[in-house]
A and B are shown apart, each in its own frame.
Chain A
């Protein structure tokens, strides 16, 4: 069980890195001041990613403190799923505007 958690945590760290790289790429391709509405949506995306990052950080801290409960294990699954969804959708959007 411990090995499974460690593996999942590693997966989560990589997902978090991918998330950051995705938002970095999005920042590169976003045209600021094109329209205030677009800038607003852009910041909403940034905020959503920041919230997810905070959620992931909480999990990583729980792991470091060896406080992985069954509830945290469920959080890991949720965070992984959300991270993958985020990355897939951000990259899909980037592809459409390139």
Chain B
């Protein structure tokens, strides 16, 4: 079996219930502060109220979209367009809440030894605010590191939002997500 076949096979399994995953992501979004955040603008406004930096909003949107779309198209990170903006906002929220690839953390650790993390940070800061800047194309290898790095950023974010002015139900939801994500990290330690 090749890695390509393995990837295709896992994607096939995911397709069986991808609709459910999408629905649950939207449900999660709807439960976020009791509001439905359906556009980038709403998303930005909500983030502003929560005191979230522009950089973090952008990176979460990018990676949120990339991670969820990743099972369908690995190139999403570099080919995203404004037409996907709504989906990106929804998925960005999902990323905030910890769905983002915690499994990628071991990748980050491994790539850290290659001293490429600084390059990733530079790339993150170059991504444009409301759309993916196509001039900032990530190589396929860099994309893996990028996603892993964002997983860590999102951990920091989920901590900050859990202590902000969020509703109690939102805090509880994020807290539960973090608990389960932390469980996974313990497996990998």
Contact = CB atoms under 8 A, between A and B. Distances in A.
Interface in A53-97: 53-58, 60-61, 64, 75, 78-79, 82, 85-86, 89-90, 92-93, 96
A48 B140 contact: no
Contacts of A30: 3
Contacts of B7: 41, 44-45, 48
Contact of A46 (B9, B107, B139, B187): B107
A89 B1 contact: yes
Interface residues of B, number: 52
B24 to A, nearest CB: 5
A17 B17 CA distance: 20
Contacts of B67: 47, 50-51
Given A32-B111, A51-B71, A45 B10 contact: yes
14 contacts: A36-B141, A39-B141, A43-B104, A43-B140, A43-B143, A45-B7, A45-B10, A49-B103, A50-B104, A51-B21, A51-B67, A51-B68, A78-B16, A89-B9
Given A32-B114, A85-B10, 9 more contacts: A16-B184, A41-B6, A44-B71, A47-B104, A48-B71, A53-B99, A58-B24, A93-B5, A93-B6
Interface of B: 1-7, 9-11, 13-14, 16-17, 20-21, 24-25, 28, 67-68, 70-71, 74, 94, 98-104, 106-107, 110-111, 114, 139-141, 143-144, 147, 173, 176-177, 180-181, 183-184, 187-188
